[in-house]
Structure 1
């Protein structure tokens, strides 16, 4: 690409930490076949999405981005637990009453989520959407909930009570008041699907970044891999690691922003679905691998399981790597 290059650093808020996308973008007069990097920010699924594509034509690139945005909107209209018209909202309304027929896509996403629960013996559980809110993670909480309140908080949580009928393609929640939600893997799934669509359209490279749960493919305009900076959870704006990726995904979970600090101990907003207690051993977990959905699952689960059990889980999936940071502030 003709002209000089400038280094642009873009901060992208994650669930609790920040990744930094580091781009090399050309300036000056481009050649006729020069590749451009075009980026657009959108609000989808209650979060900021940054969609970046590489193309020769900026107008065409924006059209591609709009198609990816429509795909993410389509997914949200299937799986959102907050929009009343979605299939997941209907499943939740009918908890303890009747099964609900869903599309194959929703059924398969739920089936995979139950498999993730089985892999972790319930450390990952989409029925945590029904958790009683006994923890507050806005800095105002100064004492622990009672043991009884914590025990009661998980009474409607339990993936074993999610019943799938593979013939009728229905989902039934056995307990009244149960809910399922895809906050832990939904944005990663949307990032994967956005990448899949853009690749099918012939886009040579880009990133679909769902508030830090991202899927990338191809290269930057100059042919270099994408550079993903992982923030140090103990120092604001400090990058502790840079990942160089082409066809790969990254997801991070951590306690850097949403937490409760009580008696000198930090409790992350990521809660163990079996016990009702927040994770407290680890400061952050960044997972990279082929799928953002699966990296989402792993980063969340490792935060709950802790370093030892989390590494044991990770060993089952050699395509995935993790940066696990213990919380130095623990007492």
Structure 2
């Protein structure tokens, strides 16, 4: 049995507690239906099922001519999600990521992990270091200090850990990965959820279902629209959750991911949260949320993290240089910045 197959069979009910991007979106939280099957019209059934996973609620909606086939495909997609979350979970000491972080190297990497790592290193170069999976020691340091001492780490503590944050010190050849500095660690939290959603969508597509919408805590994958060219509608929620949606986007195909300081934070002022600047070790404070549209959720996930780290105008320019991508940024000053290509 391969390492990937082994982790697919292990405790499918245990899901990855991603401390990376949870984002926001339509109908999140307790309002999500657990299960719904209705006749959308004479030819299609609309089937929606929701389960908890990846630190949030995952809702899968499909439209298909066969209710039974739709339900079977959704069930299989949730199994796929469980398999991949176990595989990419850094909190499990027996997962490939857990083993890598403990031993500093990993051979014969499972293909899914290899694809995520390769894309992560690509975005590290593309963003000039704004996206960096080696920030794991920084996230753990900040979390530990707030849990143990109710305060952020000192400058000296940050400096000691910052030397370990360097994705260029990761040797990776597609199968083997090794850290060049003792004490390094990776977190795939800023990209893995997107990859998992993409794979769930592909699983459903391969079963002949065209109309798909997956919402995992605001990370969205859409395919096929509803029917007859009708798009899915996705609301970009205001970070304060009390105000109106920042925008409502119509989508037939594509993906959306949101990064923000409001879902996972360590202090009441939300100055210290799960996203950290790899260069300074501090949480970025210039934006409240960043939403990115791309062709797939994995890319949108990584790009939204990178833009959140950058200054808003620099982030907008960065996204405008990437074909097929667009972004909406809400600054800390409540200034709304939309890139070219954002569907205003």
Where does structure 2 lack aligned partners over 5 or more consecutive residues?
1-19, 336-344
1:4-30, Cα deviation, whole Å (9 max, x unpaired): xxxxxxxxxx9465311599xx99987
Where does structure 1 lack aligned partners over 5 or more consecutive residues?
1-13
Q: What's the offset of the Cα at 1:103?
A: 2.5
Query: How far apart, in 2, do the equivalents of 1:234 and 1:82 lie?
Result: 29
Q: What's the offset of the Cα at 1:102?
A: 0.8
Alignment of 1:246-257 (within 5 A): 246-257=252-263
Query: Which residue of the partner structure matches residue 202 of structure 2?
Result: 196
Query: Which residue of the partner structure matches residue 10 of structure 1?
Result: none
Paired residue total: 309
Give the alignment's TM-score, normalised by structure 1.
0.83
- 1:103 maps to which of 89, 104, 110: 110
Query: How far apart, in 1, do the equivalents of 2:298 and 2:228 lie?
Result: 28
Distance 1:17-1:192 versus aligned 2 partners, 3 A rule: closer
Distance 1:249-1:28 versus aligned 2 partners, 3 A rule: closer
Q: What's the offset of the Cα at 1:125?
A: 0.9
CA contact (8 A) 1:184 1:300 kept: yes
Query: How far apart, in 2, do the equivalents of 1:156 and 1:103 lie?
Result: 25
Query: Which residue of the partner structure matches residue 127 of structure 2?
Result: 120
Query: How far apart, in 2, do the equivalents of 1:141 and 1:36 lie?
Result: 53
**Farther off after superposition, 172-181 or 265-274:** 265-274
Query: Which residue of the partner structure matches residue 286 of structure 1?
Result: 291
Of structures 1 and 2, the larger Rg is shown by 1
Larger strand share, 1 or 2 = 1
Query: Which residue of the partner structure matches residue 300 of structure 1?
Result: 305
Query: How far apart, in 2, do the equivalents of 1:45 and 1:285 lie?
Result: 20
Query: Which residue of the partner structure matches residue 224 of structure 1?
Result: 230
1:52-73, Cα deviation, whole Å (9 max, x unpaired): 1111332221111011112222
Q: Does 1:183 align with 2:189?
A: yes
Distance 1:31-1:211 versus aligned 2 partners, 3 A rule: closer
Larger helix share, 1 or 2 = 2
Query: Which residue of the partner structure matches residue 318 of structure 1?
Result: 323
Q: What's the offset of the Cα at 1:222?
A: 6.9
CA contact (8 A) 1:287 1:320 kept: yes
- 1:327 maps to which of 306, 309, 332: 332
Query: Which residue of the partner structure matches residue 277 of structure 1?
Result: 282
Q: What's the offset of the Cα at 1:138?
A: 8.3
- 1:77 maps to which of 46, 63, 86: 86
Q: What's the offset of the Cα at 1:39?
A: 0.9
Q: What's the offset of the Cα at 1:109?
A: 1.8
Distance 1:155-1:142 versus aligned 2 partners, 3 A rule: same
Distance 1:63-1:327 versus aligned 2 partners, 3 A rule: same
Q: What's the offset of the Cα at 1:50?
A: 1.0
**Farther off after superposition, 134-143 or 114-123:** 134-143
Give the alignment's TM-score, normalised by structure 2.
0.80
